[in-house]
Amino acid sequence: MIAPQWNCPENVVAYTSTRYDSENAGASVGDYAGCNVGDHVGDAKEAVASNRASLPFAKSITWLNQVHGNHVVTLPSKETEGDAAFSAQRGYFCAVMTADCVPILICDKAGKEVAAIHAGWKGLELGIIHKTISHFSSQAADLMAWVGPAICQKCYEVDAVLAQRFSDYPSTIRQGETPEKFQLDLPAIAVQQLASLNIGVVVNSQRCTYCDDQQFYSHRRATHQGKPSTGRIVSVIGLR
């Protein structure tokens, strides 16, 4: 379990799960070995249910059906399809699953509002960060954001067409190993978008899901290994 390195209010619960830790080895086996919380990736339902139940404040978590869009679900809600969740009520925890995409946790300095964002390249392009921030009543300067474990720039090689989509963030793009390939820094794009919105505190975990196979699942790593699928970690935030 990883706790964001920020000075959030005491009533805010925030963490990112890991594949393995000393307190929770997880119930999943095989390609999903560890604490996989993704129930849509082919893992045994019983194992996923056990893993989810082992998480802190498990009964308070709302699980989204993530679709790589920019819709924000305001909790509590019967609606579950979206790639971000916002809550201003105690006991309704926001959560996003990732396996390379960027998880972002946000709270206000007064401990009254929280949100969790799933930001892959599509979400970043579609402005999901801006849409989520617009749900807060607090001023941007009074918000803090944590950019969680995601694939790093050296591990995320893309074609020229995708790289060009983020030409407004030139410092996040560098030449790949071949002329037609580029390395894209998704966490840095998220940090720059947060900064452009004048968020008061932005902390980048600088943890790579691809590099660290002991702590994280990685969709791209699994693909490179010829595996059909892999598990998911979850980033959670809520008010207690």
Q: Summarize pLDDT for 144-185 with one digit per residue, the tens.
A: 999 999 999 999 999 999 999 999 999 999 999 888 999 999
Indicate the number of domains in the chain.
Answer: 1
Tell me whether strands 157-159 and 114-119 are parallel, antiparallel or unpaired: unpaired
Alpha helix positions (H), 35-185: 45-53, 121-125, 128-133, 160-164
> pLDDT for 112-156, tens place per residue?
999 999 999 999 999 999 999 999 999 999 999 999 999 999 999
180 in any annotated domain: no
Determine if the pTM surpasses 0.95: yes
CATH of the domain at 29: 3.60.140.10
Specify if 31 maps to a domain: yes
Spatial separation of the C-alpha atoms in residues 50 and 43, rounded to whole Å: 12
Residue with tokens 């921030």: 133
Domain hosting residue 90, numbered range: 12-151+186-239
Residue 4 belongs to some domain of the structure = no
